[in-house]
Homo-oligomer: A and B are copies of this chain.
Amino acid sequence: MKWDALEEEPCSLARTVAVIGDRWSLLILRECFLRIRRFDDFQASLGITRHLLADRLKKLVRFGVLRKIPYQESPKRYEYILTQKGLDLYPVIMSIVHWGDTHMVDARGRPMLHEHKNCHKMFDPVMVCSECGEPLSAKAVHVHRGPGARQSSPVHAKAQERGKRVAEPG
């Protein structure tokens, strides 16, 4: 499968993965949320090759996640800052960080702590239902085909059929 094909898939996960679904893009976004904005700063803090950094920044700008803002003339220099579309990736970044905090820490504990300026406490992010406010789990959610769906997949139908005869996952 080509990257371009991913963008066209009738699946919001696949389309998002087409934008941020590689290790460097996610790490670049981490730096953006930590207020890194300039080419050499990204390069120094990530250890990414300059070639790939230029490529990924271009891609994130093309998708409207970052925007180039001039910060000096002659020679013209730009900073890469998050657009609103980019800022909206915060839940993605935070849920990834939280999973790492839960399942990948070593004996020394968490590398970073997060304080909510609203309540002045250290917090964890919790994903809740927009309608009833209860925390979400995979088992409490039922998936329906939406208006942008493609015809249903025979593979999924077959697997679902089998699923009725065997134990539940988990």
Residues of A at under 8 Å CB distance from B?
Answer: 1, 3, 6-7, 10-23, 26-27, 30, 32-38, 41, 44-48, 64, 71, 81-85, 87-106, 108-119, 121-134, 136-150, 153, 155-156, 158-160, 163, 166, 169-170
Given contacts A110-B147, A128-B128, 18 further A-B contacts (CB under 8 A): A1-B46, A12-B101, A12-B111, A12-B112, A22-B22, A34-B156, A45-B153, A81-B169, A89-B99, A92-B96, A94-B136, A95-B127, A109-B148, A112-B144, A116-B131, A116-B141, A123-B132, A133-B133
* Residue in contact with A125 in the complex, picked from B113, B115, B129, CB distance below 8 Å: B129
Decide if A140 touches B111 in the complex (CB within 8 Å).
Answer: no
Chain copies in the assembled complex: 2
* Residue in contact with A163 in the complex, picked from B35, B91, B149, CB distance below 8 Å: B35
Decide if A147 touches B100 in the complex (CB within 8 Å).
Answer: no
SS class, residues of chain A in contact with chain B:
mixed
* Residue in contact with A11 in the complex, picked from B30, B35, B102, B146, CB distance below 8 Å: B30
Which residues of the partner chain B approach A91 to less than 8 Å between Cβ atoms?
95, 98-99, 125, 127, 136
* Residue in contact with A127 in the complex, picked from B125, B147, B158, B169, CB distance below 8 Å: B125
